[in-house]
Amino acid sequence: MDIRRVKTVCVMSMLLIGFHIGGCGDGGRERTSGLVLDKELGTTIGSLAEVVSVGLLGVEGYGVVGGLRGTGSAECPPELRAYLEQYILKQLPEPRMNVERFISSHDTAVVSVKGQMPAAVMKNQHFDVRVSALPGTQTTSLEGGWLYKAELNQAGRFGASTQVLAAAEGPVFVDTLGSGRTDKVSYVLGGGRVLDEYPVSLVLRKPDFRIANAARNRLNWRFGPNTARAVSPRQIELNVPAKYGDRKQRFISIVKTMYLAQTREITKERIKTFAGRLAVSQDKEASEIALEAIGNESLGKLSALLNSRYEEVRLRAARCMLNLGSDVGVETLGKIAMDKASAYRVEALEAVTATARRNDAAAISRLLLQDEDFNIRLAAYEQLRKLDDIAVTRRPIARSFHLEQIAQTAPKAIFVSRSGKPRIVLFGAPIFCRDNVFVQSANGEITIDSRAGQKYVSVMRKHPTRPTMIGPLKSSRELCDIIETVCEEPLKRTEQGRLGLGVSYADMIALLKQMCEKGAIEAEFKAGPLPRIE
């Protein structure tokens, strides 16, 4: 058995702990993970098996944050110190570093790292993590620090023999935008990374090779060869089809809803039943999934539902058709996305971007960049970003974040993320700073100054470790140029390139908010939500 299979078995074993057998419902219906289906229509895969996959899994570990300018501490429990020393030495190409001195420095702090792997996780998928100084230590702040690469195990399972599920590293982010919180919680935005691709499996409640083979054949007929493989009388391994690669949860829902057996007559009856429910019932989600599970035979009834007087029905029918490979519903989804009175605009846009032809998706998203509602413009930007469309330009700033720009949108706005990968987005670029402005950070360390009639901006900051100033440096009044000058790393004497002040992402977005509030920038400032880590 190779190492990859050993790792897979370990993860599946963890997930099967606590696995329980569910029963059928009453009144001739069965419940399949929230979906109520008529038993007269046949037996679903979900009524016979549970779908098991890694997702929404708490992970945690320990690591070291460096670059703390004396706000760290030397305290570390002996057993944790031994682990960190061995781990750090393992990461070094040449173990010349004095690890004991490194951990004991007041410029470093030993921290706990916690996060939550997202549902239906994929290899290399990123997620937010929270970092905290160990209780009882003298660490006063993690602000401005860098989390060195740390291993993350399943929560509650730390130890040398425990499988490492993810890793985390990156700059520490402490929110300074006045979120109303009294404590300063430290994060590494998008700093967690899943290390492996974990399988999705069907586990039969009662082992039966006949049923396992029937489910495998049904899935391979519906989604293509090699989608399912029966590895035992109880377990079927699934390969998520490429079209559902970033929508694993939907694929899992479809698998649960699929009927084990089919005939032409019963298929017609199922389509009639679920199309009727989609049109009039409250549980429209279940009906949409059931029709998608049946496949292309549903397209005729779905097409008729595009004329429904109910917008939600039109949305679901069009989305289902797109997922089944028909472009007939694209026009319907486009109309919903453009309708300023609709409550389903973002859902319609996301449906088009997920499945429609790239040109159709990009065209609708670009039109919505002009919308009056900022939330719609933001959603359109997010979809264009996923499409890697030329309407969104991007450049990395230092090792900290990305600066992205969208031209020709009005009114102008600045969006900053506070979860996921850190980024500053300029809507309506280029955006310029006015002349005759003076802005200083809350702690007085960073200054942005431009006199009346001056064509440039001067920026400077107090040196982080010495009683001197860095700068002043000159920048054009274009905001992207100011951000780059403020945040790029200061150059060493032997280096060439753009000279910067080395200001952190957290400090930069606080400055941007202040500049907008003071009228130095004629743009609306918007900040995304903070991470929610249970």
Alpha-carbon distance 404 to 462, whole Å? 28
pLDDT at res. 37: 53
CB 462 within 8 A of CB 504: no
Question: For the residues of 212-276, what is the DSSP string, one character each?
Answer: HHHHHHHHHHHH-TTSEEE-SSSEEEE---GGGTT-HHHHHHHHHH-BS---HHHHHHHHHHHHH
pLDDT at res. 95: 63
For the sheet with 456-462, list strands across it. 437-440, 446-450, 456-462, 469-476
Please name the residue that has the structure tokens 């903070």: 530
Q: What six digits make up the tokens of 506?
A: 């957290």
pLDDT at res. 333: 97
Residue from 395, 403, 394, 409 nearest 424 by CA: 403
Alpha-carbon distance 460 to 502, whole Å? 10
Classify residue 325 as left (phi > 0), alpha (psi -120 to 50) or beta. left
R_g of the chain, CA atoms, integer Å: 27
The torsion angles phi and psi of 133, rounded to 5 degrees, stand at -65, 145
pLDDT (tens, 9 = 90+) of the chain, 534 residues, equals 444 444 444 444 444 433 333 333 344 444 444 444 566 889 999 999 998 876 678 999 999 999 998 999 999 999 899 999 888 888 876 667 788 899 999 999 999 999 998 877 788 999 999 999 999 899 999 999 999 999 999 988 776 667 899 999 999 999 988 754 445 799 999 999 999 888 889 999 999 999 999 999 999 999 999 999 999 999 999 999 989 988 888 999 999 999 999 899 999 999 999 999 999 988 899 999 999 999 999 999 999 999 999 999 999 999 999 999 999 999 999 999 999 999 999 999 999 999 999 999 999 999 999 999 999 999 999 999 999 999 999 999 988 999 999 997 889 999 999 999 999 999 999 999 998 999 999 889 999 999 888 889 999 999 877 888 888 999 999 999 999 999 998 765 445 556 789 999 999 999 999 999 999 999 999 999 999 887
DSSP 8-state class, residue 79? H
Q: Is the peptide bond before 118 cis (omega within 30 degrees of 0)?
A: no
Alpha-carbon distance 389 to 47, whole Å? 42
pLDDT at res. 3: 44
For residue 133, the one-letter residue type is: A
Please name the residue that has the structure tokens 């939907």: 250
CA 76 remoteness from chain centre: 32
Helical spans, DSSP H, in 339-436: 345-355, 358-368, 374-386
pLDDT at res. 182: 44
pLDDT at res. 227: 96
